Amino acid sequence: MRTAGLAGGVTDRSRPQFVPAFATDARFTCPDDLPGAMTLETLAPADDLDAEAFDDSVLAALGADDFVFKVWGGDWCGDCRRQLPEFGAALAAAGVPDDRIEAYPVTKGPDGKEGELVGEYGIELIPTVVVESADGEELARFVEEEPVSIAEFLAERLADVEATA
């Protein structure tokens, strides 16, 4: 087996060091001898971003409660390569436990996107990030592109959820 080669961690010493388990979790590894096995390496936290790169309110919103982050993307996708490393860094900086981060690699098929749970979640564009409560209720969804980063977009919606709770 080869690991997805993910690097992580927060360099800000005022925050706890966090290395996402998706860097070593079996869900994010693939056997070398399995043709077409995929990973979602673009979710690896960007090396050049640490906790200071993010607004405290964004980190607080992402790290609040027991949110589950479901991320669909493809290492072949330009939008994913551009946006997911920063989102991975934001999750790491917020201290989101890796058991609450689920990555779903997506491929291009003849009839659209293909991959685990693509049909069940209506995934047509990537990256897509769905945030669910611990009991599986969808609370927020980011699809492909917004004027702000994935982390900022979701944090704003999660703050609204918190305010109405």
Are the beta carbons of 94 and 100 closer than 8 angstroms?
no
For the chain, the helix, strand and coil percentages under 3-state DSSP, each to the nearest 5: 35, 20, 45
Predicted pLDDT of residue 38: 67
Domain ranges within the chain, ordered by starting residue: 21-164
Cβ within 8 Å of residue 152, ≥6 positions away: 55, 58
Residue with tokens 């936290």: 45
Are the beta carbons of 92 and 56 closer than 8 angstroms?
no
Predicted pLDDT of residue 123: 97
Q: What is the maximum span of the chain, computed from C-alpha positions, in angstroms?
A: 49
| CATH 3.40.50.300 fits domain 21-164 | no
Q: Which amino acid is at 146?
A: E
- Give per-10-residue mean pLDDT for the chain (165 aa): 32 36 39 52 91 93 94 97 97 95 95 95 98 96 97 95 73
First-to-final CA distance of the chain: 44
Predicted pLDDT of residue 40: 93
Predicted pLDDT of residue 161: 83
Strands (E), 24-89: 68-73
